[in-house]
Amino acid sequence: MSISVLGMSVSLDGFIAGPDDFLGGDDGQRLHSWFTRDGGFVPPTGPAGGLVAEWAAAGAVVTGRRTAELMDHWGGDHGGAPIFVVSHRPPGPAARWGYPDVHYLTGVADAMKQAKAAAGDRHVEVRGGYIGARAIEAGVLDEIQIHQVPVLLGRGRRLFEELSAPVELDIVRVIDTPDATHIRYRVRR
């Protein structure tokens, strides 16, 4: 059975991006430095490499429109996995005509249901803080994978700015690497 996992790199003070969606630091990619080098993607080795391999094994992706558009819908697929975008507006031209594996839906629960069906026995990657919070509130997010980066950004966009109620989590796994501490939680139901 498929599970849904929100995966986010986060500063120690809870930010996932700077004030204008930039991630802080001179190169604008500080929060992703645990899996990037010299401005590009370089698969890490060791335990961090295993985490990146987990991403690549996703059977589907659920994301909000903002994240999808910032990432240009990952070029139409996310490593071969279909992308389900939650939005109340119709898709733009690229998503409408150029990306057949990008599907726009109006509700997070419906998007998750379709993504899990598409993923089969593989997991569903959830991308973006806003859609992650909405998935928690809808009761359709199973796990949260935090990549805690040792930096204080001081301002920006927080991962969970507001939730409608407290959410209890159980720690599933902790992996400590030189560039980040990776903590996986299960959402209690």
| CATH code of the domain covering residue 144 | 3.40.430.10
- Rounded Cα distance between 19 and 50, Å, is 31
Say what the pLDDT of residue 41 is.
Answer: 63
What is d(CA 139, CA 133) in angstroms, rounded to the nearest whole number? 10
Number of domains composing the chain: 1
Whole-number pLDDT of residue 21: 62
Joined tokens for residue 139? 């009761």
CA distances from 52 to 43, 144, 158, 176, 187 (A): 7, 15, 23, 14, 21
135-164 pLDDT, tens digit per residue, is 999 999 999 999 999 999 888 889 998 888
Residue 166's domain comprises 4-187
How far, in Å, CA of 57 to CA of 159, rounded? 24
Give the whole-angstrom CA distance, residue 140 versus residue 49: 27
Closest CA to 13 of 141, 187, 151: 151
How many C-beta atoms lie closer than 10 Å to residue 73's C-beta? 24
Q: With bands split at pLDDT 50, 70 and 90, how would you rate the model's confidence at 14?
A: very high
pLDDT given at position 53? 78
Closest Cα partner for 160 from 121, 189, 125, 187? 187
Task: Report the alpha-carbon distance of residue 68 to residue 76 in Å, rounded.
Answer: 10
The whole-number pLDDT of residue 67 equals 86
Residue 21 gets which letter from DSSP? Answer: S
Segment 44-92, tens digit of pLDDT: 777 877 787 787 889 999 999 988 888 788 778 778 899 999 999 988 7
- Percent helix, strand, coil in the chain, to 5, is 30, 30, 40
